[in-house]
């Protein structure tokens, strides 16, 4: 039997990620009581019906009261407001974390909102599906997926112990834990997650706007590549609007580099420079193989794949 790491855990915002954390933590036996706060009456009704929380409320302070771990799983631009709403009930020594895809803005928002007596350890699980809501959660979501923690610049023993405790918690849920500077995290995720989403949203929108192609044809003749784009473009619009606004500097930096590379690719096609195209395509093929070799993806065909494949490219909260 696993040892309980957090006797009482509060989850503020209980969609795919929040509910999956609860399922995974209960399955691993590392939490005791679980409380949930969610602004949606419909979500609260479903959470109560599913029965995976001991307390369900609309009030973040009620959920956070006496909690040893408070997890904020709301869109990144809502983190500060949610933390302020819960702050008065946070007990000294509690660990405060989140699951947002942007870390610098969130770290600042959480630190400003909560009392100095708690430990803020921002986090980002690189896992998700295109599904959303409390019904979408499942315990296996974090298995062999990375969780990036971006601890604050503190060296005092109580804080370091809190960071290690949270790392142990995520390890128990099946995750691989990495610690990273928050700004570096935001740059890395701009490349690996945010820009791909931006491209997906744009290309699906472009296809929908083409005057010479009907929407029915787009759906009927979708090839594998376009289907993958539509899967990513089906991600939660509120969450991704907030991600791009919160991480705009890193996204714009990477987008500028991507635009330059795209122009070079356009020139290679225009001038029939087949060798350049082949070289690029061979290099990118090796990256795909490396991702599979690292256990972060399956080599199986993905058409019709069960959403529980835990694809990190799509992660509604």
Nearest-angstrom CA–CA distance, 95 and 165: 9
In a 10 Å sphere around its CB, with 0-12 CB exposed, 13-18 middle and 19+ buried, how is residue 158 labelled?
A: exposed
Nearest-angstrom CA–CA distance, 93 and 151: 16
Both 261 and 174 in one domain: the answer is no
Both 85 and 195 in one domain: the answer is no
Both 28 and 174 in one domain: the answer is yes
Both 200 and 281 in one domain: the answer is yes
Does some domain include residue 222?
yes
Enumerate the H helices of 190-273 as residue ranges: 195-209, 215-220, 224-233, 237-246, 248-270
Q: Tens-of-pLDDT digits for all 317 residues of the chain? A: 579 999 999 999 999 999 999 999 999 999 999 999 999 999 999 999 999 999 999 999 999 999 999 999 999 999 999 999 999 999 999 999 999 999 999 999 999 999 999 999 999 999 877 677 899 889 999 999 999 999 999 989 999 999 999 999 999 999 999 999 999 999 999 998 899 899 988 888 887 777 566 666 666 666 667 777 888 888 888 888 999 999 999 999 999 999 999 999 999 999 999 998 899 888 888 877 776 776 666 666 554 455 444 454 455 44
Does some domain include residue 316?
no
CATH assignment of the domain containing 287: 1.10.3660.10
Both 133 and 10 in one domain: the answer is yes
Both 15 and 62 in one domain: the answer is yes
Nearest-angstrom CA–CA distance, 159 and 179: 14
Both 117 and 192 in one domain: the answer is no
* Domain final residue pick, 181, 201, 230: 181
Nearest-angstrom CA–CA distance, 194 and 51: 34
Both 104 and 224 in one domain: the answer is no
* Domain final residue pick, 125, 158, 181: 181
Q: How many domains does the chain have?
A: 2
Side by side, the strands of the sheet bearing 55-57 are 55-57, 31-37, 6-12, 69-72, 95-98, 119-120
CA-angle at 294, arms to 144 and 277, nearest 5°? 135
* Domain final residue pick, 124, 152, 181: 181
Both 30 and 19 in one domain: the answer is yes
Buried b (16+ CB within 10 A) or exposed e, 228-238: bbbbbbbbbee
Print the domain residue range for 274: 184-309
Both 294 and 169 in one domain: the answer is no
């Amino acid at each position: 039997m696993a040892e309980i790491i957090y006797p009482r855990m509060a989850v503020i915002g209980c969609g795919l990620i929040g509910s999956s954390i609860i399922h995974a933590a209960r399955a691993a036996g590392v939490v005791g009581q679980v409380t949930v706060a969610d602004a949606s009456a419909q979500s609260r009704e479903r959470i109560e019906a599913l029965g995976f929380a001991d307390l369900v409320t609309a009030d973040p302070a009620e959920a956070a009261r006496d909690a040893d771990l408070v997890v904020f799983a709301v869109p990144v631009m809502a983190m500060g407001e949610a933390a302020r709403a819960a702050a008065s009930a946070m007990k000294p020594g509690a660990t405060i974390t989140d699951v947002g895809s942007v870390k610098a803005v969130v770290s600042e928002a959480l630190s400003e909102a909560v009392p100095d007596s708690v430990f803020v350890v921002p986090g980002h699980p690189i896992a998700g599906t295109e599904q959303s809501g409390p019904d979408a959660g499942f315990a296996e979501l974090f298995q062999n997926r990375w969780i990036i923690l971006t601890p604050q610049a503190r060296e005092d023993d109580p804080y370091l112990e809190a960071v290690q405790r949270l790392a142990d918690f995520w390890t128990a849920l099946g995750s691989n834990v990495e610690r990273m500077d928050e700004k570096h995290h935001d740059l890395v995720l701009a490349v690996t997650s945010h820009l791909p989403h931006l491209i997906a949203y744009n290309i699906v929108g472009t296809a929908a706007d083409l005057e010479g192609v009907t929407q029915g044809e787009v759906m009927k003749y979708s090839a594998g590549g376009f289907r993958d784009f539509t899967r990513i473009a089906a991600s939660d619009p509120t969450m991704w609007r907030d991600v791009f606004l919160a991480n705009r500097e890193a996204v714009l930096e990477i987008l500028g580099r991507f635009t330059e590379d795209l122009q070079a690719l356009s020139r290679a096609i225009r001038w029939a420079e087949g060798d350049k195209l082949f070289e690029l395509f061979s290099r990118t093929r090796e990256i795909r193989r490396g991702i599979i070799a690292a256990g972060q993806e399956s080599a199986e065909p993905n058409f019709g794949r069960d959403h529980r494949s835990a694809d990190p490219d799509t992660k509604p909260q």
